[in-house]
């Protein structure tokens, strides 16, 4: 019988801007209240919540929708942490790939991301999370310094990331930190609940529609598609701005 777990996760993104960056990114906002709101929302956007269901073979990662009860009409800005994207993602833990539907300005694609293997350094540091004894490990992901706290007290391996292969253990806390001369970016992932559930969960992977041209793309191809789409939108915006000025 396959073991099945459901995990609830909170994620928090934080960007610490230098005064130069605030002027660069928000200097064109003349209204002081609007500028303050935009800076604060980009620096400290709201916490996002995820539900992750997994077995040894498969994993489903789903962003949990939130209702915004704000009365000021401004809403809020959403920012994800690395490797926990919006909406829903499915991961094949045997063949080491993830699939998720992505909408690029009205065109739908299915991203197929290969799971990366990071080089972990196991540290001689321990603490307790949710009643479990956890140990620290560190690595690098792109330019980020990555820290995880994992336990051996749960009988299944788990990594709260859609495209990173799990360490030998169950990760209960994870952080991505980036510091350079232009500022600092912190991303925190905290498991808030671990629940063993009944077997029989079905994982429905997104697939191309029968008879239609495949729209499955790699992560690199998706980045190129976004870049090209943004380039065309910027060109269109600049043309419209030029016409308006005339």
**Contact (CB, 8 A) for 176 and 13:** no
Encoding tokens for residue 78?
Answer: 């959403």
pLDDT in tens, 178-216: 987 767 899 999 999 999 988 667 788 777 666 566 688
Give the residue among 130, 99, 94, 90 at the shortest CA–CA distance from 9: 130
Mean pLDDT along residues 3-30:
88
Separation of first and last alpha carbons in the chain? 71
Q: Of 23 and 213, which is predicted with more confidence?
A: 23
User: pLDDT band at 246, cuts 50/70/90?
Assistant: very low
Q: Tell me which residue has tokens 């429905």.
A: 204
**Contact (CB, 8 A) for 162 and 113:** yes
pLDDT in tens, 101-152: 888 888 888 999 999 999 999 999 999 999 999 999 999 999 999 999 999 9
Kindly report the pTM of this predicted structure.
0.84
DSSP result, 10-37: EEEEEEEE-HHHHHHHHTT--SHHHHHH
- Dist CA 156 CA 59 (whole Å): 12
Encoding tokens for residue 17?
Answer: 């801007």
User: pLDDT band at 173, cuts 50/70/90?
Assistant: very high
- Dist CA 15 CA 151 (whole Å): 29
pLDDT in tens, 216-232: 888 889 889 988 888 88
């Amino acid at each position: 019988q396959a073991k099945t777990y459901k995990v609830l996760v909170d994620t928090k993104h934080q960007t610490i801007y230098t005064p130069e960056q605030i002027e660069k990114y928000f200097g064109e906002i003349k209204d002081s209240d609007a500028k303050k709101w935009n800076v604060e929302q980009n620096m400290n956007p709201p916490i996002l919540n995820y539900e992750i269901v997994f077995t040894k073979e498969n994993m489903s990662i789903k962003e949990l929708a939130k209702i915004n009860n704000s009365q000021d009409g401004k809403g809020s800005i959403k920012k994800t942490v690395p490797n926990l994207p919006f909406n829903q993602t499915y991961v094949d833990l045997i063949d080491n790939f993830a699939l998720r539907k992505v909408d690029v300005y009205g065109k739908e694609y299915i991203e197929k991301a290969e799971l990366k293997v990071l080089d972990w350094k196991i540290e001689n540091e321990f603490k307790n999370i949710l009643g479990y004894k956890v140990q620290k490990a560190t690595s690098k992901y792109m330019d980020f310094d990555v820290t995880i706290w994992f336990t051996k007290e749960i009988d299944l391996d788990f990594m709260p990331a859609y495209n990173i292969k799990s360490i030998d253990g169950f990760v209960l806390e994870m952080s991505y930190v980036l510091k350079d001369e232009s500022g600092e970016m912190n991303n925190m992932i905290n498991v808030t609940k671990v629940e063993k559930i009944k077997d029989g969960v079905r994982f429905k992977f997104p697939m191309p529609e029968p008879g239609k041209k495949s729209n499955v793309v790699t992560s690199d191809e998706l980045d190129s598609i976004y870049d090209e789409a943004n380039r065309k939108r910027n060109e269109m915006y600049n043309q419209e701005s030029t016409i308006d000025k005339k």
